[in-house]
A and B are shown apart, each in its own frame.
Chain A
């Protein structure tokens, strides 16, 4: 193998692959990144057998071939190479030589013959979505994913597949976040998607896979991502990158039933004031459950956030916000409430309540119309008294 590529491209491909490398595995070759020439370019691949990533970059190929090298070594090297230089990459037996104007490297590798074959979709793709939109949907719900949960299905993000939209949801059973992507004509591969959703109402993707996916998409990237599902695996393809992961088997909780249809009380105000009020109250909240109280006085048109602890003292904030509906007094775990407020992206945020024992919702407010946006809902359960 011999080729020339730019240092930027090389660095990006290594960055994309390195996280899929196995941390501890019985098979030494899984600690390595595979280099291979393909279709006039260089393809780098890595896998831990849970997910597999390959990233293809443009390169001038002089001689075909492939080899694997330890990921830690090559990523350390790529991070420290000077920018803006072309790299000459050449394999010779079981070593890989990398050279620019000033630096010469010889890395000991392992022959590529034993490197796992990364599965590739056999059928056609289901969806082709805007990458940024997809990333946004993941970010919105990721906060509610359960970590180290005995119930495996809660460690993933559930996507309900509907003809008109995709509903992303995550819950750790104390709070739940749901975000909807509206599907447009060009987003769907009709012949495949429509029959598929008749048989499969939803899929659960491991949160780790989606975290990796998000990492690979930069905010300014503007490309579309193709998604296919086959054999309990999900395939993503975008901009020379392919990612494959297992899906989580199991049944996601039917959370629709617990989402309130309407709310008796609504309080709308600036996100940052909510944040301040909750954070300061949180400092004084007592015990392991971080209890704070949100009190809404409908007649006085005032809302208070307060907390007290036997060891800390007490704190309260008055929120002079727009209140509609009945008076309420509800106790929360401040962490769960704050997570919801933080993830809202608009300047104004709505908190919607029914009673002290039913879920409270956090939703975004459209800047222009002042209406509640319905594509994102974050709900949390109050603490029972």
Chain B
């Protein structure tokens, strides 16, 4: 038998000691203890403070010795020394600084920010055009926004920007506001999310101040509404918005809207609103390409004076593709952990830090084939049956689950899913996805199965 390491021995002994004393005593006295050395049957324990030393040496000596002896017979005595291992490793990270006294920071920025964070406009001053990185994916939207900011109300009215989460819609449209504010501080600008617009409207209805609400909005020179898709289905909001829209539009006041999808795709949007949205300029922002992502990272790291290797930046840009917010999050994450551990930001370090957030889906090179394999093995069916035209229950169910996983894990398009599964119609895939998503919420067993499948899929390439 292999001799136990000190840690294993102490773990075993603690297990025994725990049985003979109360939980509270055990936690109080044995927390942060460890065997430091064993020599000729003499065990030296490291304990966190003088109280624990006194207590363990004088009161619990017998328990400790008995427990250790049961495991390793040759142990004769136990003594304690005070050592704060945990603390020390923590301290060694931070080098003692020579500058004991630093100048306190000026807080001008803070006060400026507060002034800008004007209640009236709601604009965040950090969003400006010069901080916006231009790439193929957002060129059009940026150009449109910039044109609007230079020539407000006369070109592209309304301006409708759409694109996925975290791609810079909010940045762009707030830049318009900030740019305008710079050249003409007296303009009345309002930035509001459609959700807040709705709740303000509801309040005004409740308090019978709806006329004030309307006239307030009709005085605005530039109205920016973020995430307009949320007014879908809210009839009264749409109606009021319609009136405000019309009145602003007639006076040549600028309106800027954003949404996560094009106007046509917003469900339950009144025809007259839809046609108005489409009457101006529609520009989309899509996912940034590699160069843009890299440029974003470079700008961000330069802005915070972060020292990071170029290949580390490239690694992040290569692996996080979907959205700018995630990109910045990843950069922050490596920067903070590098600061804490005082390590240089090299490629290897970056890889290590980001390994756990990169472990989902496509980024690990998982394809539909992996899913086919895992699903067919899990349900003990032939892989070919998944693709074949066969509607037996024992096959159709796994097939639906396959479709669901392809959609949820790999973001396949519905036609794509149908195509991969033997040329089925995209509605079949859509139906399967919706059916399984719905069922997961109520069917605990199915949820477990799906979770297991996911685990297996990811462990394949693990």
B82/A231 in contact, CB under 8 A: yes
The 6 closest A-B pairs by CB, nearest first: A255-B100, A253-B100, A119-B50, A251-B96, A117-B54, A381-B103
Interface size class, chain A: 35 or more
**A-side contacts of B96, CB under 8 Å:** 153, 250-254
Determine how close the nearest CB of chain A comes to the CB of B107; give it in whole angstroms.
Answer: 4
Q: Are B51 and A118 in contact (CB under 8 A)?
A: yes
- Residues from chain A with a CB closer than 8 A to the CB of B106 are 289, 291, 383-385
Stretch from B86-94, B228-236, B360-368 forming part of the interface with A: B86-94
Contacts of B59 in A (CB 8 A): 117
- Which of A131-139, A171-179, A297-305 contacts the other chain? A171-179
Give the distance to chain A from B285, nearest Cβ to Cβ, in Å: 37
Closest chain B residue to A232 by CB distance?
B82
Contact in complex: A28, B55 (CB < 8 Å): no
Q: Across the interface, which residues of B come within 8 angstroms of A173, CB to CB?
A: 99-102
Inter-subunit contact A258/B91 (CB<8 Å): no
Known interface pairs A27-B24, A246-B49, A381-B103. Does A253 touch B111 (Cβ–Cβ under 8 Å)? no
Of all chain A residues, the one with the shortest Cβ separation from B87 is A249
Are B111 and A232 closer than 8 Å at their CB atoms? no
Measured between beta carbons, the chain B residues less than 8 angstroms from A50 are 49
- Indicate whether B250 reaches chain A with its CB closer than 8 angstroms: no
Nearest opposing residue in chain A for B97, CB measure = A253
Q: Are B28 and A27 in contact (CB under 8 A)?
A: yes
Q: Mark A33-74, 1 if CB is under 8 A from B, else 0.
A: 000000000000001011010000000000000000000000
Known A-B contacts A174-B104, A287-B111, A310-B111; the reply to A257 vs B25 at CB < 8 A is no
Contact B25 A171 (CB under 8 A): no
Contact B100 A176 (CB under 8 A): yes
B53 at the interface (CB under 8 A from A): yes
Contact between chains at B110 and A379 (CB < 8 Å)? no
State which of B50, B53, B105 has its C-beta within 8 Å of the C-beta of A289.
Answer: B105
**Contact, CB under 8 Å: A289 / B107:** yes
A357 to B96, CA, bound (A): 23
- How many angstroms from the CA of A244 to the CA of B51 in the assembled complex? 10
Q: Spell out B's residues near A (CB within 8 Å).
A: 23-25, 27-28, 49-55, 58-59, 81-82, 84, 87-88, 91, 94, 96-108, 110-111
A336 to B58, CA, bound (A): 48
Is A182's beta carbon under 8 Å from chain B? Answer: no
A-side binding surface: helix, strand, loop or mixed? loop
Interchain nearest-CB distance for A276 vs B (Å): 23
CA distance A383 to B104 in the complex (A): 5
CA distance A233 to B97 in the complex (A): 25
A380 to B97, alpha carbons, bound, how many Å?
Answer: 17
Q: How far is the CA of A251 from the CA of B100 in the complex (A)?
A: 12
- Give bound CA distance, A111 to B111, whole Å: 60
Known contacts A249-B88, A381-B104: A119-B98 contact under CB 8 Å: no
Interface string of A1-41 (1 = CB under 8 A from B): 00000000000000000000000011110100000000000
Say whether, besides A117-B51, A118-B51, A310-B111, A254 and B100 are in contact (CB < 8 Å).
yes
17 of the cross-chain contacts (CB-CB < 8 Å) are A47-B51, A49-B51, A153-B96, A232-B84, A233-B50, A246-B50, A249-B87, A249-B91, A250-B91, A258-B100, A258-B101, A286-B111, A288-B110, A291-B106, A381-B101, A383-B103, A384-B106
Given A116-B55, A231-B50, A253-B99, A49 contacting B28 (CB threshold 8 A)? yes
Give the chain A neighbours of B27 by CB distance below 8 A: 26
The minimal Cβ–Cβ distance linking A207 to chain B, given in whole angstroms, is 16
A233 CB contacts on chain B under 8 angstroms? 49-50, 82
A116 to B59, CA, bound (A): 9
Closest to A257 in B: B98
Shortest distance between the CB of B36 and any CB in chain A (Å): 14
Residues of B within 8 A of A288 (CB): 107, 110
- CB pair B25–A357 under 8 Å, yes or no, is no
With A and B bound together, what is the CA distance between A233 and B28 in angstroms?
Answer: 19
Contacts of A151 in B (CB 8 A): 94
**Most B CB atoms within 10 A — which of A50, A176, A333?**
A333
Q: Contact between A114 and B25 (Cβ–Cβ < 8 Å)?
A: yes
A334-360 interface bits toward B, Cβ cutoff 8 Å, 1 = contact, 0 = none: 001000000000000000000001010
- Chain B CB within 10 Å, residue with most, of A119, A291, A333, A336: A119
- How many angstroms between the C-alpha atoms of A384 and B106 in the bound complex? 7
- Verify if A275 is at the interface (C-beta below 8 Å from B): no
- Residue contact A152 to B50, C-beta cutoff 8 Å: no
Q: Does A382 contact B (CB under 8 A)?
A: yes
Contact indicator B103/A253 (Cβ below 8 Å): no
Please tell me which one of the listed residues A52, A176, A287, A333 contacts residue B51 in the complex, with CB atoms under 8 A apart. A52
Does the CB pair B51–A116 fall under 8 Å? yes
Residues on B with C-beta less than 8 A from A176 are: 100-101
Contact of B50 among A25, A244, A381 (CB under 8 A): A244
Taking the nearest CB of chain A, how far is it from the CB of B40, in angstroms?
23
In the bound complex, residues from chain A placing their C-beta under 8 Å from that of B99 are 173, 253, 258
Closest to B83 in A: A232
Contact residues of A between 249 and 302, Cβ < 8 Å to B: 249-255, 257-258, 286-289, 291
Is B101 a contact partner of A175 (Cβ separation < 8 A)? yes
Provide the bound-state CA to CA distance between A252 and B91, in Å. 11
Bound-complex Cα distance A385 to B105 (A):
9
Contact B24 A26 (CB under 8 A): yes
**A384 cross-chain contacts in B, Cβ below 8 A:** 103, 105-106
**Which residues of chain A are near B54, meaning CB under 8 Å?**
116-119
Q: Are B110 and A119 in contact (CB under 8 A)?
A: no
B21 smallest CB distance to A (angstroms): 10
Contact A171 B101 (CB under 8 A): yes
Contact across chains for A174 and B101 when beta carbons are under 8 A apart:
yes
Residues of chain A contacted by B104 (CB below 8 angstroms)? 174, 289, 333, 336, 381, 383
The reply to whether B108 and A287 contact each other, CB–CB distance below 8 Å, is yes
B188–chain A nearest beta-carbon distance, Å: 23
CB distance from A132 to the nearest CB of B (A): 28
Taking the closest CB of chain B, its distance from the CB of A296, in whole angstroms, is 19
Minimum Cβ distance to chain A for residue B449 (Å): 42
Is there an interface contact between B50 and A379, defined as CB atoms closer than 8 Å? no
Residues in B with CB closer than 8 Å to A286 are 111
Q: Which residues of B contact A255 (CB under 8 A)?
A: 100-101
Report chain B residues within 8 Å CB of A249. 84, 87-88, 91
Residues A381 and B24 in contact in the complex (CB < 8 Å), given A152-B91, A231-B82: no
- On whether the beta carbons of B53 and A119 are closer than 8 Å, the reply is yes
